[in-house]
Amino acid sequence: MKAILGDTIIAEAPKEDLISIEGNWYFPPSSVNSEHLVESGTPYTCPWKGDAQYFSVKQGETLLQDRAFSYPTPHQTAFDRVGKDFSGYVAFWKDVKVTE
């Protein structure tokens, strides 16, 4: 699967390596082209996953605010709910298209 913004591939991995959580595909950290991401200071805490880390996504000279997110250290109980350790996996939102 691929996470694409315009004609730029932000992340790419086999579908079996991704984790689906609440309708979002989470890519393994090693599959993400981190040169396209910039850490954001936007705070968010999910009641069951824990503290999120947001990223802005670079598209050429444009920086699209908070288009990716991750849970670097999810709550231990979240692993039981998801069935896997998704620490550091990255999901995408708005403008970044995830395709097979």
pLDDT in tens, 37-92: 999 999 999 999 999 999 999 988 899 999 999 999 999 999 999 999 999 999 99
| Rounded distance between C-alpha atoms, residue 86 and residue 62, angstroms | 29
pLDDT for 8:
92
pLDDT for 60:
86
Per CATH, the number for 2-99 is 2.170.150.40
Nearest to residue 15, comparing CAs of 34, 28, 33, 32?
Answer: 28
pLDDT for 53:
98
| Rounded distance between C-alpha atoms, residue 25 and residue 63, angstroms | 22
| Rounded distance between C-alpha atoms, residue 53 and residue 2, angstroms | 21
> Which neighbouring-strand residues pair with 92?
68
**What's the pTM value of the predicted model, to 2 decimals?**
0.95
